[in-house]
Structure 1
Amino acid sequence: MNDWTTSHDRVLAQRRAEGWMFLIEAARDMRTTGAVAPSGKALARALTEPLRAGAPRPLAVLEAGAGTGAVTRTLIPLLSRSSRLDIVEANPRFAARLRHLVAAHPHLAGPPRQVAVHQTYVEHLDTGRRYDVIVSGLPLTNFTPAQVDRIMARYLEMLHPGGILTYFAYVGTRGARALTASRAEARRHAEVHEVMAGYQRGYATGRWTVWANLPPAHVWHLRRPLDAPRDQELPRDMARR
C-alpha cells in the first residue's frame, strides 16, 4: 500500500467520523448544530475566499461555529506568517475535536501563527481584538430574529473598518419551511430572513451559490464601512432592539 492510498484512506475515515458526529449532535440539538453534514470543500473554499484576497499579509481571523473543523482545515493553510486565528465553538464535543485538530495540524508546526479555540458563544467572546475576516458557520436561520440581530451586530463590532464577514445560508430553506413547518416556525424563519436582508442591503459586496455542496448554499460577503462610527453603521431598519 503506497503513501497516497494510506493518506486517502485516512481522509475518508475522517470524513465518515465527522459525518457520524454531525448526525449525533444534530439529534441532540438541531437548533445549534444546524446541519446533518459538515460543509463540503466547495463551500469551505467560498467561505475562505477573503483570506486569499488578503494574502500574504498577516491577518486577524475569527471563525465562529466551526463544528468539526471542515472549514477550519481549509482556513489554516491560508494563514500567513504572524496571522492570528480565533476559533469559537459552543458545543463542547466539537470544541474538543477542534483543539485536537489545531494541536496536530502540520501547517501550524512551522512559522509563528497564533491559533486558539474558545468554547463559548460568539456574543460572549471577548478577545480584545478586531478582525480582518470573520468566517461564520453559525446556523443563523435556526435562531430567533433577536438572536440573529445581536450576532450580526456583534460581528460588525468585531471587524476592522473595511473588514469582511463571510457566511452561508442553505438554498430553498425558506420555501421548504413555509410548506412543512408550523405557522409560528414559518413566521420566525421569515422574520430572520428579513433581519438578514437588512444587513445584506447595508453591507453586502457579493453573493455566490455553491451548488456542489449538500445541500446547496448561498455564500454572502459583507464589508464593514471604512469610516462611519459604529452607532451610525446599522441600516435604519436594523437599529438595535
Structure 2
Amino acid sequence: MNDWTTSSPDPVLARRRTEGWMFLREAARDLRTTGAIAPSGKALARALTDPLRATARPSAVLEAGAGTGAVTRVLIPQLSRGSRLDVVEANPRFAARLRHLVATHPHPAGLPGRAAVHQTYVEHLSTEQRYDVIVSGLPLTNFAPEQVERIMARYMELLRPGGALTYFAYIGTRGARALTASRAEARRHAEVNEVMAAYQRRYATGRWTVWANLPPAHVWHLRRPLAPPHDRESHRVVAGR
C-alpha cells in the first residue's frame, strides 16, 4: 500500500483548514465584525507582534480581536517568563477556541495562570492593567467612525507611557469600496480613515507592507509618548506628600 494512503493528516494543515472554514462561517454571520474571510497569515502575525521581539523583559500584552488565534499562536512564544497576556474577543465561538489555545499551548515561559481570554468588546474591558504592547486585530474600517474613536482612545488609555500599539489595514479596500459601496458607506469609510490618520500623525513610528498575506496589508506601529519631564516632576512632588 502506498505511504500516502496510510500516513496521518498534517495537524498544522488540518488546523488551518478548520480555522479557514470557521472564519468563512463567521464572516457569513456578520462580515462587519469578523472583518475577513481568512485568518491572518504568519507574515502578518510576525509584523504585528514585532515589538515583543525588541525586549526580553516581562511584558503585559493585550490582543484585541484575536479571532481563531492565528496571531495569538505567534505571539505566545515571544512572551518572556513573567509576562502577562490578556486576549479580548467578542465572538463567543472564537473566544471558546482561544481559551483552549491559551490553556494548551506548549509555552515554556510559565504562561498558565498569567493569561486570560475575555469575551467582550475592548471598549468594555474592565481592568486596571496597563500594557506594554497592544496588538489589534479588529476590523476598524468596518466600524462607525464614533466607535473607531472610542476604540483608539481606549487603546491609548490602556497603554503605558512608551507602550506600543500595532494594527493592520488591508490594502485596496478604499478603492474597492469607492466602486461598490453606497454613498453613505463610502462616506463612513472616509471618516474612519480620517480618524485613523489623526492617530497616525500623532503617534505612528512606522508602517510596513505585508504582501505575503491574503489580502495584503499595511501594518502600523504607534507608540504612546513618555510623560514629559515636568509631568514626572509634578508626580514625584504629589507622591512625596
Q: CA shift at 1:85, angstroms? A: 0.3
* Counterpart in the other structure of 1:47: 48
Q: CA shift at 1:227, angstroms? A: 1.1
1:213-228 maps to which residues of 2 (within 5 A)?
Answer: 213-227=213-227
* Counterpart in the other structure of 1:141: 141
Change (3 A) 1:111 1:213: closer
* 1:143-169 per-position Cα deviation (integer Å, ceiling 9, x unaligned): 000000000000000000000000000
The 2-side partners of 1:109 and 1:198 are apart by 38
Contact 1:208 1:219 in 2 (8 A): yes
1:9-158 maps to which residues of 2 (within 5 A)?
Answer: 9-54=10-55, 56-107=56-107, 110=110, 114-158=114-158
The 2-side partners of 1:44 and 1:192 are apart by 23
* Counterpart in the other structure of 2:235: none
Contact 1:102 1:108 in 2 (8 A): no
Unmatched segments (≥5 aa) in structure 2:
230-241
Residue type of the alignment partner of 2:44: L
* 1:77-117 per-position Cα deviation (integer Å, ceiling 9, x unaligned): 00100000000000000000000111111116846661100
The SS at the match of 2:14 is: helix
The SS at the match of 1:106 is: coil
Q: CA shift at 1:126, angstroms? A: 1.5
Answer with 1 or 2: which has the greater Rg.
2
Contact 1:171 1:215 in 2 (8 A): yes
Q: CA shift at 1:71, angstroms? A: 0.1
The 1-side partners of 2:204 and 2:195 are apart by 13
The 2-side partners of 1:153 and 1:228 are apart by 19
Q: CA shift at 1:38, angstroms? A: 0.1
Unmatched segments (≥5 aa) in structure 1:
230-241
Q: CA shift at 1:135, angstroms? A: 0.1
Change (3 A) 1:110 1:202: closer
Q: How many matched pairs?
A: 226
Contact 1:65 1:89 in 2 (8 A): yes
Tell me the percent identity: 82
Which 4+ residue blocks in structure 1 deviate beyond 4 angstroms?
Answer: 108-113
